[in-house]
Structure 1
């Protein structure tokens, strides 16, 4: 997250999203299974939360993980996202790094995120069904990735692209001895007819 401390910026965004939804700390804790005290610590910027914890909070707030790192839409936001201005966050548990590519604050139904998963790293999102499922596609730029979702595991190599619905537990694992770099494209509810 360019220009500011990533944890402080994430903390402010979580507080804003929770307030916009009229949720108390207790209500968000009940929705996510994350303790009230842990949410409070994260919202104060006193903890570097893991990707798994952030995914649970995002699901409870009804947003994508990418939305936790985005700025609110605002009039006059530029449609260009320069690399030095793109928000970058690193998972303290796995070293996984995510970069928000989409222009900050610019209104769009699509979010683009670049991810680098270190060799041997595994990130598990155990969130169950979401109130508002999201569609995503993952395009492997470098390396390989094992992605488990919906009872299936997909081995993806450079150039492969997987389309999926983000509505249940998903695990990303880098089986190789070098980093996996991939693009994630997220859109809300494009597959409207599916439960």
Structure 2
């Protein structure tokens, strides 16, 4: 049986920063936002956004989440391939893994990129003691998320709510408030994140 956790310990593949750069450029252009306008929307400086769009920065997960909020997309969308997938299957070897330079957590986009689906799946390997806090705000369209712990334990804070999750536990949430993840244990935690974008007409 394949050891999925071991594959997630690999460093990010070459040119992943270039993929993020193009996705940010394309999403910003699709929304008709200037660098200054996006900076005002997400609270990231114009110069930093410019560096990211040129692939000259290694942004943290927190910074990328702020960009994603400003662009009204899930964080996972910033790692999508710029071109639609040739087939609706994402092979393990082609699923991009990215390591947060601040916390050391590794996230892997499991879902095929470019497929017309409102659902995305991400797998995360969270180091012992790691903590990541996101300044998530309300988005249009609404983004729903479920966190399913596969191994270990994590603590999730959503606004004033606190949830401790063990292996097998699943938490459903709406991305509309500040949130944080923490691994309070001495072992690596592994969890899946299922993200769904809900159009206004479906509410």
Q: Same fold (TM over 0.5)?
A: yes
TM-score (norm 1): 0.92
Matched, 1:144 2:136: no
* Shift in Å, 1:128: 2.5
* Shift in Å, 1:4: 3.7
Alignment check: 8 A CA contact 2:133 2:181 kept: yes
Alignment check: 8 A CA contact 2:22 2:82 kept: no
- CA deviations 1:147-179 (Å, max 9, x no partner) are 000311100000000111111111000011011
Residue 178 of structure 1 aligns with which residue? 187
Greater CA deviation, 137-146 or 6-15?
6-15
Q: Identify which of 165, 168, 175 aligns with 1:156.
A: 165
Q: Name the SS of the counterpart of 1:167 in structure 2.
A: coil
Q: Distance in 1 between matches of 2:157 and 2:199?
A: 21
User: Number of paired residues?
Assistant: 192
Q: Distance in 2 between matches of 1:97 and 1:133?
A: 25
Matched, 1:126 2:135: yes
Residue 88 of structure 1 aligns with which residue? 97
Alignment check: 8 A CA contact 2:148 2:169 kept: yes
Matched, 1:29 2:30: no
Alignment check: 8 A CA contact 1:134 1:190 kept: no
TM-score (norm 2): 0.89
Q: Distance in 1 between matches of 2:83 and 2:164?
A: 36
**Once superposed, what is the RMSD of the aligned Cα atoms?**
1.8
Residue 6 of structure 2 aligns with which residue? none
- CA deviations 1:87-127 (Å, max 9, x no partner) are 11110011011000001222211000001111000000013
> What stretches of structure 2 of length at least 5 have no aligned partner?
1-10
Q: Name the SS of the counterpart of 1:38 in structure 2.
A: helix
Please list, as runs of the form range in 1=range in 2, the aligned pairs for 1:39-54 lying within 5 A after superposition: 39-54=49-64
Q: Identify which of 48, 52, 62 aligns with 2:72.
A: 62
Alignment check: 8 A CA contact 1:90 1:96 kept: yes
Q: Identify which of 17, 21, 32 aligns with 1:11.
A: 21
- CA deviations 1:41-72 (Å, max 9, x no partner) are 11111110010100000010010001111135
